[in-house]
Amino acid sequence: MMIFLIVLVVVVFVLVAMYNGLVTLKNRAAEAWADIDVQLKRRYDLIPNLVETAKGYAAHESGTLEKVIAARNQAMQVSASGAGIEERAKAEAALSNSMKGIFALAESYPDLKANVNFLKLQDELSDTENKIQAARRFYNGTVRDLNTKIETFPTNIFAGMFHFEKRAFFEIADEKERANVQVKF
């Protein structure tokens, strides 16, 4: 009888540990996703200021600036709609690609490139991009751990019973972004 009780207590502790581990990883993944959202919001707030600063120097380049604002607005819409990770990653990649146009403008306009406000905004945006990348890496690492736990035995049985679901990774959707950079002198 005593052995049965000890085995029962051990089994209960193992089940509790598995459940708590799954909940912890699920919550970490949600927190990591929220960190990405915070940094994306910061980027959305910086972009209009950067565009306004560039407008004064490159008024006839309005097409480039309008594309950036349109991509920003699209990314914000996708974010607000509660879209899945794949859709958000695609919208964010389009925004990142359009941002390259503003930095190309800076190369064409030395006065813009030397503007203190533009340089400050560019630095803040660069810092934000680095924070977004770090948040994505943290999210993907947490999702990897959660998905691994959901798929491995015996936790997979327990995860299925309590409807824990695998999450998608935040990946680059655009194949052009995956291509190796070619440096030519």
- Give the other-Cβ count within 10 Å of 130's Cβ: 11
Residue-level pLDDT at 63: 78
Q: How far is the CA of 181 from the CAs of 4, 13, 107, in angstroms?
A: 63, 51, 19
| Cβ pair 64, 102 in contact under 8 A | yes
| Cβ pair 112, 58 in contact under 8 A | yes
| Cβ pair 32, 138 in contact under 8 A | yes
Residue by residue, pLDDT tens for the chain (185 residues) are 899 999 999 999 999 999 999 999 999 999 999 999 899 999 999 888 888 877 776 665 777 788 888 999 999 998 888 888 888 888 888 888 888 887 777 777 777 767 788 788 888 888 998 999 999 999 999 999 999 999 999 999 989 999 999 999 987 665 555 454 443 43
pTM: 0.74
